[in-house]
Amino acid sequence: MPDAATRHDHASEAHRVAARRHEQAARYWFENGDPERAELERRNAEIEHQAADLEADRARVQRERPIGSNRQVSSRPPVRPIAGSVRQRRQPEG
């Protein structure tokens, strides 16, 4: 079974393939006199490109900071639990 980074790489490539198909469809519709459909396909291609970039970024982050590495991602201090939350409730004595 491929690791998480490899799965994100595959997802990125799948989105790039889909983007190319939408670009082809946009050209088809434009050349066949339907600019409204062409614009929808162009917009969809852009969304697919963004999704491909997102998956590529996820793969990069996964390689840099694998899940379970306990490497701190944020420079912000940890959030303290709210008083009275499940973590703060006292256990009954005795």
pLDDT of residue 87: 47
d(CA 30, CA 45): 14
User: Is the CB of residue 84 less than 8 Å from the CB of residue 90?
Assistant: no
What does the pLDDT look like over 56-69, one tens digit per residue?
Answer: 999 999 999 877 76
Whether 42 has a pLDDT exceeding 80, the answer reads yes
d(CA 46, CA 41): 9
Query: What is the domain partition of the chain in residue ranges?
Result: 4-64
Whether 79 has a pLDDT exceeding 50, the answer reads yes
User: Is the CB of residue 30 less than 8 Å from the CB of residue 38?
Assistant: yes
Band of the pLDDT at 92, cuts 50, 70, 90? low
